Structure 1
Amino acid sequence: MSYKIIVDSCGEFTERLKKDEHFVSVPLQLQVDDHIIVDDDTFNQAEFLRLVAESPNCPKSSCPSPEKYMQEYTNEAENIYAVTLSSQLSGSYNSAVLGKNLYHEEKGDKNIHVFDSRSASIGETLIALKTEECEKSGMKFSEIIKVVEEYIEGLNTYFVLESLETLRKNGRLSNLKAFVAGALNIKPVMGATKEGTICQLGQARGINKALDKMINLIVEQVKDSENKILAISHCNCRERALMVKDELLKKCKFKDVILCDTAGVSSLYANDGGIIVVV
C-alpha cells in the first residue's frame, strides 16, 4: 500500500525524513511584529530568535488552513495520515479534520486519519515514525490507527525552558496557577497531560538543576525503555541537549536516540535555550 504521512511544522524532521517522499511537512505561519515567517525549509532560526529578542511584543503562530490540509491529502497515496500538535494547544488538529471532511465531500472516499499528538515538536516526529513502522510491517489501515493511537497514549513529554513568557502570553498556560519565578531564578520542569495540556512536574533553582530534575523524572517514569526511542529537540543549545542525552543514556538503555534542533513553531514556544524530551 502507498502512503503519505503529513506532519504540521511543529514536528521536527530528521535529515532522512526530509528526503523521504512519504513524509510531508505542512507549515504553520509565525509573526513577529510586522514580520510574517513561513515555517518551512526556508526558516532561519538565528534570524527568528534575533527578531524575537529585539521585539517588545510576543510572537504568534497561526495554523494551516483546512484547504491546505485538503491539498496535501490530494495525491495518489492509498493511505493518508496527518499528525498535528496537541488539539489543546493549537487549531492545527481541527484544521486537519476539517480538511479531511472537505476532501470526502468534494472528492469522495479515501483512507485519511488525523492523529492528535497530544504533544508537540519531537513528539510528533515519534508518532510519524511509528506510523511508518506500521506501514512497513504491512498492517491494515485500521490496525495502524489502533496501534498508533495506543502508542500516543503511552508517550510522555517533558520540557525545561529558559522562559515561559511566550507560552503564558499566548494562553498556553491557562490551566496552570500563576507561576512566579522572578529574581529567584526558579525554572519549572513542564510536561504534557494525557489530554495534551501543559502541566508543571516540578521546579528547581537554575536551568542546570531543572534539567537534572527532568532527567530524574524521566528515569523514574519511563517503562520498557529498551524498546523506546529517546527523542530530544533543542532551541539553539546543542551542547545542553547532548548533556541531557548523555545523562539519560547513563541511566537507561533506549532502542534509538533522535536529536533535532527545533523548527519554527517549536522555536517560538521553546525560546532560545529550551529543551524538549519525548519518550
Structure 2
Amino acid sequence: MKVKVASTSTSCLDYYQEKHDIDIIRIKLLDGDKELLDGKDITADAFYQKLRENPSWVPKTSQPSVGEILTYFESLVEQGYEQAFITTLSKELSGTYNSALQAAQLIEDKLKVTVFDTKTVCFSEGYFALEADKMFKEGKSLEEVLERLNFLRDHNTIFFAVDDLTQLVNNGRLTGAKAFFGKLLKVKPILQVNEEGKIVSIDKIRNIKVALKSIADYIKQFTKDKKFYAHIVYAGNPELLGYFENILEFELGLKNLYKAPSTPVIGAHIGPDVVGIGIFLQE
C-alpha cells in the first residue's frame, strides 16, 4: 500500500540537512494582515532577525483549517496514495492535531489516514516523521510503525531554557505560569516538554548560563546511563548556542549534535533567546 508521511511545519524538517520526501503541513504566521506560511514564506533566520530589529513586534500564529488539510488529503488521493501517516506537534500546544483528525474523518472513504500526536515539538516532532517514513519504506506495517512511535513517545523529552518568558506566559504555552507572571519574568527557568506534551517549569534559575549548565544534570537524571539519541534546539542566539554546546561536551561528552533552528511559528511563542536539547532513549 502506497503511504505518504507528512508532518507539521513545527517539526523543523525544512531545515533538516538530509534528503527526505516527507510532506509539510504548514502552520501560519500572522504579521498584521499578512499570512506567512511557516518555513516557506518566512525562514527561521529571517524571522529572528526581524524580531531582533523590531522588539515590539508581536506576531501571532494560526493553525491550518480543516478545509486546508482536507484539500491536501485530496491531493494525495489524486497522486495515487491509499494511506497517509500524519505526525503533529503536541495537541496541548496547538489545535492542528484536531484539525487533521477531522479532515481525516471527512475523507476516510478514499484515504486511510492515521494522525499521530507526538506530544512534543521542534525537531523531536520531526524525528517521529523520519522514523515512520523510514519504517514504511522498509515495508513495515502500520501496527509496527505505531509500536515503535509509541515507544519513542514514552521515552523522550525536551529540556530548554528561555532568557525572556514574556511571550511564553502571554500566549499561555507555559502551563501554570499566569499566577506567577511577575516572579517568572525575573528568573531563567528550566522548562520541559513533559509526557503529556505540555511545557512545564521544572526549575528556576536567576542566570541563563547557569540554567543551561543545570540542564546537564537533568539530562543525566533522565537518561540514567542508558543509550540515547540527542539533538539541540535553539532560537536565534548564536552565543547561547555555542555556550550550551561547550557545556554538553564538557559535562556529558556530547559533541557534533544535530542543531535544529526553531521555526518562526515556534519563535512567535518562545521568543529569540532559547536553547535546549531533545532526547530519545533507545530500546
Q: Name the TM tier (shorter chain).
A: 0.7 to 0.9
Which residues of 2 match residues 155-174 of structure 1 at below 5 A? 155-174=156-175
SS at match of 2:133: helix
Distance 2:274 2:229 in 1: 20
Distance 2:217 2:157 in 1: 14
Distance 1:32 1:95 in 2: 22
Which residues of 2 match residues 139-218 of structure 1 at below 5 A? 139-176=140-177, 177-181=179-183, 185-218=186-219
Whether the aligned pair in 2 keeps the contact of 1:186 and 1:203 (CA below 8 Å) is yes
User: TM-score, normalising length from structure 2?
Assistant: 0.84
Counterpart position of 2:36: 37
Shift of 1:140: 0.7
Aligned length: 272
Whether the aligned pair in 2 keeps the contact of 1:70 and 1:100 (CA below 8 Å) is yes
Counterpart position of 1:8: 8
Matching residue's letter, 2:48: L
Q: Would you say 1:82 and 2:86 are equivalent positions?
A: yes
Counterpart position of 1:25: 24
Aligned-pair RMSD on alpha carbons?
2.7
Shift of 1:229: 1.9
| Closer, same or farther: CA 158–198 of 1 in aligned 2, 3 Å | same
Counterpart position of 1:269: 269
Distance 1:68 1:27 in 2: 10
Distance 1:196 1:99 in 2: 22
Shift of 1:172: 1.7
Give a deviation string over 1:231-270, Cα, whole Å, max 9, x none: 2121122443344344334444779932122211122123
Question: Which stretches in structure 1 are left out of the alignment for 5+ residues?
Answer: none
User: TM-score, normalising length from structure 1?
Assistant: 0.85
Worse-matched range after superposition: 4-13 or 170-179: 170-179
Shift of 1:175: 2.8
Give a deviation string over 1:172-224, Cα, whole Å, max 9, x none: 235344143478x5201011221111211112121100111122211221246
Give a deviation string over 1:32-52, Cα, whole Å, max 9, x none: 334432213331435433554
| Closer, same or farther: CA 15–86 of 1 in aligned 2, 3 Å | closer
Worse-matched range after superposition: 192-201 or 136-145: 136-145
| Closer, same or farther: CA 253–144 of 1 in aligned 2, 3 Å | farther
Whether the aligned pair in 1 keeps the contact of 2:159 and 2:191 (CA below 8 Å) is yes
Matching residue's letter, 1:83: T
Shift of 1:71: 2.9
Shift of 1:12: 0.4
Distance 1:255 1:48 in 2: 27
Counterpart position of 2:248: 248
Counterpart position of 2:232: 232
Distance 2:225 2:134 in 1: 18
Shift of 1:144: 0.8
SS at match of 2:191: strand
Whether the aligned pair in 2 keeps the contact of 1:238 and 1:261 (CA below 8 Å) is no
Which residues of 2 match residues 107-118 of structure 1 at below 5 A? 108-118=109-119
Worse-matched range after superposition: 46-55 or 206-215: 46-55
Matching residue's letter, 1:10: T
Whether the aligned pair in 2 keeps the contact of 1:173 and 1:198 (CA below 8 Å) is yes
Shift of 1:98: 1.0
Distance 2:128 2:213 in 1: 26
Counterpart position of 1:97: 101
SS at match of 1:186: coil
Shift of 1:168: 1.4
Distance 1:91 1:72 in 2: 17
Distance 1:253 1:2 in 2: 42
Counterpart position of 1:222: 223
Whether the aligned pair in 2 keeps the contact of 1:33 and 1:55 (CA below 8 Å) is no
Whether the aligned pair in 1 keeps the contact of 2:216 and 2:251 (CA below 8 Å) is no
Question: Which stretches in structure 2 are left out of the alignment for 5+ residues?
Answer: none
Give a deviation string over 1:102-148, Cα, whole Å, max 9, x none: 111xxx15332111121111221121122133224432112211221
Share of identical aligned residues, percent? 22
